[in-house]
Chains A and B, each alone.
Chain A
């Protein structure tokens, strides 16, 4: 008994020492339930790496962004410290959930306690694969805290009064390579816009191109467009006109944990919904000069 408590004290001491250094040792701490998290004093939160305005590091190396604030809100609500699990995006969400939540990447096999910026979509969550088996049975997706959408930023001097996509048969439009807007614009009107679809590796580069006059418009996620143009708030026209052809124009964003930690999902879900309801979520978005849209599952006035 005595020996047991000594071991616990030593272990906690070691953990807080590593936290103090800012580089917590997380290897080997796997599959933690709510009690484990509270007892340890920290929660490990997966956020995408280099993904402004959601999660990124500033020049001083500090974690910044909407999801960093959301994660901090969760950690504070649980009475623990947040530890960031920087996730390099893989080729799709299914891979990201595997790498961040239930199996770990092939490199270190470590996982986070919770992942943010996970689209909340029942059709996706309950999808079956080509063999008739559930595709995402290893995770539970919950807690919608935002509604993201595709938007278009237009340079009205170039696009004039034309509010649909046909203008891009004559003017260039920037997209992030392999994004949904890339696919739709490259295929629209029998490919007639294809020669004017200008590809950039990142949406930030597309917005730089727009400001430099390389293109007449950029199509991307609303939060990213607003963030990327925040210092020129009236220079470009931002809305969704003409994007009706996109198969999915808006979608909810929530969180995910491993499927055997539903108690954790309930605790985090309650914290997120409270923040949506009491205005703290909207405050986070306004801090980053982006529009907060209430998730579709909420019945509250915006």
Chain B
């Protein structure tokens, strides 16, 4: 009796689902192609890739919505990510043929009719019992390819769903969740392949970048990001990362060296390279692993055809502060002395902004983008930090208690995961940064899994009385901060900029904020009801410009106590996709 009832319910569900699908996609939607992905930025009618194109500039050439009319931007619908699992919505939605695909925390994804905000389908990954993923429960977005929607889950699986029905087509394992691997990033699409990094805890994991056939999920190549580990191409050995083991690591520490690629990467079709950031090295006590510890805390450029590392640039060699330098590397061109410079930029956890030659990784320039950095005096001619030796956390091995140091920025970084944007109009990067430092010391008494342990204690502290968050407009040619918007709570959401002279980002206080891209003047503010830690998008349909952002407080900031928690303790959790548009009647001519 129960069984037949549930069958009946399922039957009705399928019927309702197919009705919804046929209503929304009256014209058969064409599969997403490599050309669609490469043209994602230029084609303003949809958003088919994370970062608004694989270069990750987060720039839209749309200008219907602009500083003159942005006050008329209105919400048209909101969609709840429902259930009891509200925490931490760090996603960027995708839009294709009238359907929005948005991921939520706890490995969930929805297809939504963009005209009505009604659900078309939902997929919730079934996670194993007892899972303890290292890195929060967030998900940052999906990828589209052909007729598939591809996203990663907290148990380190990559799942491809039929875009029309939400039914699984293929599923692959990115790492063993029991060994500490997880996945939270948006997958990258390049040359018909879906390319992923991996998240992992501090202990025992090794970062890697992997390419799979996007249609079938079959592995094409795998490239570990720690020196000494073998790479593979089409099932065959393809060279050891860094040539051999033990060059920049002592003993066998390279075997468990960390360098997780947890934020995913970007791709520039112009120079045909993938760019991935790598996390901090393990163990955390830097005194035990003298050497640069390659390729931790680096940007690595990888040939998409061979899976070989073309170049690398290490932002924090021999990291001792947990400057988990996974930050996105964004390709951009600029003119200098009548020549085009093919550059790329990254704003690192360590507080420095780097401009590199993206063809060969050469350092062009670097400068601080947060105030009062303590751990380095600056960068040398090759971009290597000039360390302040007294500011390196002490060595606990053999001592009862190492000296306490106060380091700026804190280990949560001058900038954490949240992606910055680059405007082709203003030539500026819009960097969501945080001004905070940390006391760090060796804990004299600590335990782990029933065993005595030596851990590090830390206390994150604001640097200024009135703000931690700081959205900065950074000139990558001069290193100047052109404008700054100060926010009381730490910023944790991505940025969008448009040819309408606008910059959008969200705040933990819950506001979707719009700024004049040239001056930083606040030109728009809408309260979404919960903190924003997602990344906004904009697109055009039926002649109107739309904006969407996911609201839902969470991520790493509320996990840390004390003075920083004071600024966020009253923020309510949520889980809502907000979609806005500029109604056609409100489009003013500039």
Residues of A participating in the B interface, judged by any CB pair closer than 8 Å: 48-49, 51, 54, 86-93, 96, 99, 105-107, 117-119, 121, 123-124, 127, 129-131, 133, 148, 150, 177-180, 182-184, 186-188, 191, 194-199, 201, 221, 245-248, 251, 253
Contacts and interface: CB of A to CB of B under 8 A. Distances in A.
Given A182-B283, A251-B452, A92 B447 contact: yes
Interface string B406-447: 000000000000000000000000000000000100001111
Contacts of A247: 396, 400, 444, 452, 454
A197 B289 CA distance: 12
Interface of B: 87, 106, 127, 129-132, 136-137, 179, 201-204, 250-253, 255-256, 282-283, 285, 287-288, 290, 395-398, 400, 439, 444-455, 457-459, 561-563
B288 A194 contact: yes
A211 B459 CA distance: 44
A191 B283 CA distance: 14
B156 to A, nearest CB: 14
Contacts of B563: 131
Q: Which 6 A-B pairs have the closest CB atoms?
A: A187-B397, A130-B459, A248-B452, A88-B132, A93-B447, A117-B450
Contact of A48 (B253, B282, B450): B450
Given A177-B203, A194-B250, A187 B448 contact: no
A51 B131 CA distance: 15
A123 B447 CA distance: 12
Given A88-B132, A130-B562, A253 B450 contact: yes
Nearest to A187: B397
Given A48-B450, A124-B445, A131 B459 contact: yes
A133 B452 CA distance: 23
A16 to B, nearest CB: 21
Given A130-B457, A178-B202, A191-B290, A148 B450 contact: yes
Given A124-B446, A183-B454, A248-B445, 20 more contacts: A86-B130, A87-B130, A89-B448, A92-B446, A92-B453, A93-B446, A93-B449, A118-B450, A124-B445, A133-B561, A133-B562, A179-B451, A187-B395, A187-B397, A188-B398, A191-B250, A194-B250, A194-B251, A199-B253, A201-B179
Contact of A180 (B282, B287, B454, B458): B454
B447 A88 contact: no
Contacts of A253: 450
B288 A183 contact: yes
10 contacts: A48-B450, A51-B450, A183-B285, A186-B288, A194-B250, A196-B251, A197-B251, A198-B251, A201-B256, A247-B452
Which of B285, B395, B452 has the most C-beta atoms of chain A within 10 angstroms of its own C-beta? B452
Given A178-B204, A180-B451, A187 B288 contact: yes
Nearest to B559: A106
